[in-house]
Structure 1
Amino acid sequence: MQIHVVQKGQSLYSIAQAYGISYQDIANANEIPNPSRIVVGQALVIPITGSYHWVQPGQSLYIIAELYGMTVNELATINGISPSSTLQVGQRLYIPPRPKKVAQSLLYVEPRTPVTQVMINEVRRRVPQLTYLAMFSYEVKRDGSVKAPSIDDIPNIAKSAGAANALVASNLEDFAFNADLAHAIFTDKAAQDRLFSNLIKIANEVGYKDIHFDFELLLPEDRELYNSFLRRARDRFHPAGLTLSTALAPMTSDIRTGIYGAHDYKAHGEIVDFVSLMTYEWGYTYSEPQAVSPIGPVRDVVKYAVSQIPHEKIFLGQNLYGYDWSSPFPPQGGAPAKAVSPQQALEIAVRQEVDISYDYVAQAPHFNYTDNAGVYHEVWFEDARSIQAKFDLVKEFGLRGMMYWKLGLAFPQNWLLLTDNFIIQKIK
């Protein structure tokens, strides 16, 4: 597959002609509702095997072959030309697909009550591309009991497609992460034992393979208590045939204070079977407009993580959403930003007839518009280019794979490129 960015004057039809496919193939792959309406700067995934390279001024076969990790003879043979050929600017060369790496994928699902048919349909659609479907969340209570979410037939749907089910246990209470709740559990071994027994019972009844603790906003002084809790959990779960995993806040050093202080990367790397890095929310509901997961800060988190945790245990976290900020922006007292899926962001750009820009430092698309009420907006979201940058990071550091928050946010390009980059491993 290939990523193409729409240029001024291009239509879906002219783009399709350049790649030798139909415009409807591109529209279907990218789930474009109206093929006649695209905008400058919009990234498209072209559903072809391999990719094409159009020769730029000054490029030779040698230069192009090096770009794609090929020899001159390989590139020439594939394209039916002589290795000594003089290339013409604009000449199209075919680049065969590169070997895929094996990786895993984990997707959180957060069903509502009642579980809708739309949610069920989306689960069916995505589980073939998943290693784990993580059910968010089983809320831990102070006495070791558990409040279960509505799950309907979701675990069976995942299992039938070869995806392992993961039970996400959280310290949510009244719709917010509660540090005092977690502390109560960490300091009461009898409550812990009840909790572990309850989680194992649920896992056996439903068919969960992994128990995943998403304990957030903890007291920093509870760092060692959380580590001890996880060791006790591991010692109960492993004999029961269950793996143990955790979600970790994005850190670049061994912070021991503040809301991230209780997350001990090195200890988690030693105790649990794998971790999910929550590498997003630089841009968030109450921030100034900016990329949600800029590649530089994400890279810094990964570099620290692999220095503390075996790389094969690390999932790189990825948001399946962006934000639409309206002026005045939140730091100046404005309304909180509205979360939008990548597809919704594109729909706004098309409706407002505005070009999409791309920040190559952050590796993130964005655009501005003024609504009918005269309010100025700034939108940052994800596209094929930004997600490919994260896939490249997974390959560079040899990470376990990708973790996504969350199902139900439309981003078809991610799923196209995920399977173009990786062979998704299933758990037996």
Structure 2
Amino acid sequence: MVEKQQRETILVNGYAYPSIGPETLQAWLPDLTFVSTFSYGFTADGQLIDLMDENIIRAAQPAGVQSLMVLTPLDSQGAFNNQLAKALLENPQAQDQLIDNILDNIRTKGMFGVDFDFEYVLAENRDQYTELVRKARQRLNAAGYLVTVALAPKTSADQPGLLYQGHDYRGMGQAANFILTMTYEWGYTYGPPMAVAPLNQVRRVLDYAVSEVPPDQLLMGIPNYGYDWTLPFVQGESRAEKISNDEAIARAERYGVEIFFDEQAQSPYYYYTDENGADHVVWFEDERSMQAKLALVSEYGLAGVSYWNIMDYFAAGSEVLREMYDVAKV
């Protein structure tokens, strides 16, 4: 008699803005361990800029889903401000004040922890950022709370570029409870048409990540959307339209075009011509691409996955997740 293979249980995080539709959030909750509310801000002296996320927290609790507050150095235009991050990271007193405020917020709102998402951190502030996360974990873990950090999709320790130089995988693996790899946005709004998360590129990031961080501390980022580019692509001028996976599928049906599948990227795409005669190409996620990504969790021994983001529900993707894994509730 062959024993039934035990299903793996994984952690699943989903990022959400407070503007998420109630029905969309309810559809996602059975498949989530954490919901990360995006995003809280802060001032240079460590004051917290609140996020009105009570609607998410209230809905998540009865479903056994724990809420994490996402902390970002965003400016008033919604762009990452590394000068704000620099001011905080070079001021130990401001950091202590910020951690105090994070703890107060988590206790007051009944949340589970904090997710640090500082992007474009200056190379000179790299170690200070790691130290901030380490101090936060020390304080929050002692109070029973969790600290996670979202990191750029690096493939080597000394990878050049502003997105990468301020993130220390090995240091953050020691500083935080979990690392969320932002393994998406190869295809993006202002870039040339390509898969949002090509599997071959995701593998390169994971190969590096597991060399620096224990795999059971890693959550792999998965995109829950696609892009529609008008052709020809013109660098500096073209701007792709971000669309849900369901809309991508519906658009292909509406124009009666064939959906292709790129074997290297393990991602679907198609071409169409709109009513005005303009040519388009669309890259998105479907059951096949989701299955290919989710299989990496078992292959690499990862803790789980993190969806950016859950503002649209993709039933087919959730079905693939349920077929492959059980979702942990903590």
TM range (shorter): over 0.9
Does residue 1:421 correspond to 2:328, yes or no? no
* Identical amino acids, percent of aligned pairs: 37
**1:107 aligned residue (14, 31, 55):** 14
| Distance of 1:354 and 1:190 partners within structure 2 | 59
Count residues with an aligned counterpart.
328
Q: Which amino acid aligns with 2:222?
A: Q
Higher Rg = 1
Match of residue 254 from structure 1: 157
Contact 1:100 1:420 in 2 (8 A): no
* Letter of the structure 1 residue corresponding to residue 167 of structure 2: H
**Structure-to-structure mapping, 1:138-149, within 5 angstroms:** 138-149=40-51
| Unaligned stretches of 5+ residues in structure 2 | none
In the other structure, the counterpart of 1:381 is 284
- How far apart in 1 are the matches of 2:72 and 2:159? 21
SS of corresponding position for 2:221: strand
For the residue of structure 2 that corresponds to 1:204, the secondary structure is: helix
State the 1:410 CA deviation. 3.2
Question: Deviation digits for residues 28-79 of structure 1, max 9, x if unmatched?
Answer: xxxxxxxxxxxxxxxxxxxxxxxxxxxxxxxxxxxxxxxxxxxxx97xxxxx
Residue identity opposite 2:175 in structure 1? I
Alpha-carbon separation, structure 1, partners of 2:74 and 2:307: 19
Alignment of 1:23-38 (within 5 A): none
Distance (whole Å) between structure 2 residues aligned to residue 336 and residue 226 of structure 1:
32
Shift of 1:123: 1.3
Contact 1:167 1:208 survives alignment (8 Å): yes
1:285 corresponds to 2:189: yes
**Matched residue SS, 1:177:** coil
What is the deviation of 1:211?
A: 0.9
Q: Does structure 1 retain, via aligned residues, the 8 Å contact 2:177–2:217?
A: yes
Aligned: 1:311 with 2:215: yes
Which residue does the alignment assign to 1:185? 88
Per-residue CA distance 1:292-344 (angstroms, 9 max, x = gap): 1000010010011011001000000000011000023142x543000011100
Match of 1:22 in 2: none
> What's the secondary structure of 1:291's corresponding residue?
coil
Aligned twin of 1:399: 302
CA contact (8 A) 1:246 1:272 kept: yes
Q: Which residue of the other structure, out of 265, 274, 296, is the alignment partner of 2:169?
A: 265
Structure 2 residue 173 is matched with structure 1 residue 173: no
Greater RCO (CA < 8 Å, at least 6 residues apart) = 2
Q: For the residues of structure 1 that align with 2:54 and 2:234, how far apart are their CA atoms?
A: 38
1:69-108 → structure 2 map (5 Å cutoff):
99-108=6-15
Which residue is 2:126 aligned to?
Answer: 223
Within the candidate set 350, 354, 358, 2:253 is matched to: 350
Q: 1:151 aligns with which of 53, 59, 71?
A: 53
Larger deviation, residues 190-199 vs 249-258: 249-258
Tell me, yes or no, if the aligned pair for 1:326 and 1:334 is still in contact at 8 Å: no
Q: How does 1:201-216 map to 2 (within 5 A)?
A: 201-216=104-119
Is 1:131–2:38 an aligned residue pair?
A: no
Contact 1:109/1:407, CA 8 A, preserved across alignment: yes
Please name the residue that 2:226 is paired with.
322
Equivalent pair of 1:286/1:330 in contact (CA under 8 Å): no
Aligned residue identity for 1:419? R
Greater mean deviation of Cα atoms: 241-250 or 225-234: 225-234
Deviations 1:174-221 (A, max 9, x none): 211110000111011111111111110000011111211001011111
Distance in 2 between residues matched to 1:406 and 1:143, nearest whole Å:
30
Q: What is the Cα deviation at residue 256 of structure 1?
A: 5.8
Contact 2:24–2:313, Cα closer than 8 Å, also in 1: no
Query: What SS does structure 1 have at the residue aligned with 2:112?
Result: strand
Measure how far apart 1:400 and its partner are. 0.5
Correspondence 1:12-31 to 2 at 5 A: none
Runs of 4+ in structure 1 deviating by more than 3 angstroms, as ranges, are none
Q: Once superposed, what is the RMSD of the aligned Cα atoms?
A: 1.6
Letter in 2 for 1:199: I
- How far 1:110 sits from its partner (Å)? 1.0
Once the two structures are TM-superposed, the CA of residue 354 in structure 1 deviates from its matched residue by: 0.3
For the 8 Å contact 2:183–2:197, the answer to whether it is kept is yes
SS of residue matched to 1:325? strand
Verify the 8 A CA contact 2:18 2:56 in the aligned structure 1.
Answer: no
* Partner Cα separation in structure 1 for residue 278 and residue 160 of structure 2: 39
**Aligned-partner Cα distance in 2 for 1:317–1:366:** 20
Q: Which amino acid aligns with 2:27?
A: R
CA contact (8 A) 1:330 1:337 kept: no
Find the counterpart in structure 2 of residue 87 from structure 1.
Answer: none
Aligned residue number for residue 271 of structure 2: 368
Q: Is the 8 A contact 1:345 1:381 kept in 2?
A: yes
